[in-house]
Amino acid sequence: MAKFKARTNKPLDRDYFKYKDRPKPKDNKKLTPCCEQDVDHDVLNVKKKADWELIEDYIEQKLFEYSDTESITPVSCKKCGRLMNYLSKIKDPKGRKGWFN
Ligand SMILES: [Zn+2]
């Protein structure tokens, strides 16, 4: 008889039932240690000059397109410089006085 060991006081999720009778495959995806991004996923990096210029161009374009956007912050990993997302600061809509584009 196989050794029985109940997984008590642990959450039983879908993976638990999926891999109950077989070993769970190792997750081979390599993640960056600093920001846990997929290393195979090629993203813009603020530490690369060419990438930074693309980021600048993108922000400049967005500021031109959306007049209610005051500024856009490119949020990147402080360690490796991978670009995570953009945070835009929108002007207070109540601050607009009767004019729209
Ligand atoms: Zn990082």
Per-residue tokens: 26: 């190792």
Who surrounds ion ligand 1 at CB < 5 A?
32, 34-35, 77, 79-80
The pLDDT tens digits of the residues spanning 41-94 come to: 889 999 999 999 999 999 999 999 998 899 999 999 999 999 999 999 988 766
CA of 35 to the centre of ligand 1 (A): 4
In this prediction, residues 24-35 reach a mean pLDDT of 82
In this prediction, residues 27-51 reach a mean pLDDT of 89
Terminal C-alpha separation, the chain? 76
Task: Spell out the alpha helix ranges (H) of the chain.
Answer: 14-18, 49-65
Rg of the chain, C-alpha, whole Å: 23
In this prediction, residues 19-38 reach a mean pLDDT of 83
So what's the pLDDT on residue 101? 44
